Amino acid sequence: MKRYLSHFGWNFNKAACQYAVSKMWKTDQQGKKIKVDFRQKEQVEEILKKHGVDLKNDNLYNAVYVYHMILADYYGVSVDDERHIALMVKAIIDDPDKPGGNVFSHWYWDMIDYGLGVDFDDFLDD
- Higher-pLDDT residue of 76 and 20 is 20
Residue 125 has pLDDT above 80, yes or no: no
Lowest mean pLDDT among 34-38, 59-63, 84-88: 59-63
- b/e string for 34-65 if b means 16 or more Cβ within 10 A? eebeebeeeebbebbeebebebebbbbbbbbb
> What's the mean pLDDT when you consider all of the chain?
91
Residue 126 has pLDDT above 70, yes or no: no
Residue 101 has pLDDT above 80, yes or no: no
